[in-house]
Structure 1
Amino acid sequence: MSGEELGKYMKTPHVFTFNDKPGYNIYNSEDGEFFTKASVSLYSPSMVNPKHAPQGKSSLMLQTTVPYHWMNNWGGGDKEVYRQLKEKAMAAMIGSASRLIPGLKECIEYKDAATPLTYERFTHNTDGASSAWSWNPKKKFYKNTMSVNIETPVKNLYIGSCWAMQIGGVPGALAAAYQCVKKIK
């Protein structure tokens, strides 16, 4: 799908959907149909910068929150079961996104999935948190999950990374670095 075609359906790079289906429960790691019930958020990096996709193409990331230990911790170490579960999750999420972008499934040339296990392996974040601290609403580290907290108990030591806010990630790291620069100027 070209960036122009994607732009017909997405007027902004981020589209957050909140249409959880009956039976949705983020804490139920045994629900084999979890992904058919969960809301899917869409993000198109190529709408921000066209170089994030080959010329005439677009990029689209689908994301949802998921129980960390879903389906016996994503297959209990069995690589084939893990692959099958990732395929099942991707198919359900693409199906959900296709309600917003008709014909999406037929336009996909490449797809991949990152699970909590992927994040844990590459970032060493506890329980596969995708962005620094856990997004689990029962495990808040800061009173306001969207605020940037660069202060530490040590004089002139600031947090200039994704760890300065609950949801972290690249946006959190940039916001923290910006706050640090303002503080030390």
Structure 2
Amino acid sequence: MLSQEVISPKFKSKLGNAVLYSSAFTVNIALNCTAESLGINGELISITKDGIDRNDHDGGDPLISDISVLAPSARDKSLAPTGKGLVTLYIPAYIEYRNYWGTDKDEDGKFVRSEKYNQIKTEVAETLIQRVEKELSVNLKEHILFYDVSTPITYYRYTGNKNGTMMGARHGKENMQAKIAHHQTKVKNLIIGGHWADLGGGVPIAVKAAANAVLLTLKKEYKSSFKLLANYMDGKLSVEQLNSSDLVKPYNNSWTN
């Protein structure tokens, strides 16, 4: 989309070859009982397999990859009706698994989900449920009302992130040397925010990148506001001091106004 004057083929190649975080395979399970009654509380439970190679822990194989188990309804009771619960299982996963999860591609190169795709989804979900039952000694399956599954194909469809990655570019030597992280561009007034602007990914990095983008904009357009916000971000001002400034307008916490 951008000309070579804006982004060189060399840097474009570096961006295309950046080392990314994995995607994920997620199973959201609706229970006919509370998660707590099954011994699954508010904390994160990690199920790992002994005696395997280090890289296999996040390699995407449902038989051996680490499983994270969460019970969102244990912390937020509004997520499920009284007496019911929600449990989430997920493993690192990759879009290339089993020939792109059994999908085909149409004439535009878009993934087409088929019965084979649904079959693979179910197989992997059932494998994870069985492993959780065995490791936690809990009869999880008999309490399942229904479950919903997301694959790397799902994450790619909904986010547009390359390969359905969860968090963008990884920390590490290769990405640092390639200078993957950047906010400034050669396009006038185009500043990058979000998790692609920095290494690390996830909500904290996206928020950090957004704050940096705001600071860069204020530095050019509103220097007094930039100085105020920069001092707050650097810990030189308290939130009370920030909010008492004439440069800060009150907000009523309503997105409708």
TM-score (norm. length: structure 1): 0.71
Distance in 1, matches of 2:195 and 2:146, equals 29
Distance 1:139 1:94 in 2: 37
AA paired with 1:82? Y
1:12-31 pair list within 5 angstroms: 12-19=42-49, 22=52, 25=56
Partner of 2:81: 54
Is the CA contact 2:70–2:89 (under 8 Å) kept in the aligned structure 1? Answer: yes
Higher RCO, 1 vs 2 (CA within 8 Å, ≥6 residues apart)? 2
- Is residue 2 from structure 1 mapped to residue 40 from structure 2 by the alignment? no
Alignment of 1:24-103 (within 5 A): 25=56, 34-77=61-104, 79-98=114-133, 99-100=135-136, 102-103=138-139
Superposed, 1:142-181 pairs within 5 Å as 152-153=183-184, 159=193, 161-163=194-196, 166-170=199-203, 172-174=205-207
Counterpart for residue 113 of structure 1: 149
Identical counterparts, % of pairs: 25
Ranges of 4+ aligned residues in structure 1 off by more than 6 Å: 26-29, 137-140, 178-181
Q: Which one has a bigger Cα radius of gyration? A: 2
Q: Post-superposition shift, 1:173?
A: 3.5
For 1:17 and 1:122, locate their aligned partners in 2 and report how far apart those are by CA, in whole Å.
28
Report deviation, 1:10: 3.1
Counterpart contact for 1:27–1:67, Cα < 8 Å: no
Structure 1, unaligned runs of 5 or more? 144-148
SS state of the match for residue 72, structure 1?
Answer: helix
SS class of match (2:63): helix
Change (3 A) 1:37 1:3: closer
Please report how far the alpha carbon of residue 91 of structure 1 lies from its aligned counterpart in structure 2 after TM superposition: 0.3
Unaligned runs of 5+ in 2: 1-32, 105-112, 215-228, 235-241, 243-257
CA drift at 1:66? 1.8
Q: CA 1:112/1:141 → structure 2, altered by over 3 Å: closer, same or farther?
A: farther
Following TM superposition, by how much is the alpha carbon of 1:170 offset from its aligned partner in structure 2, in angstroms? 3.9
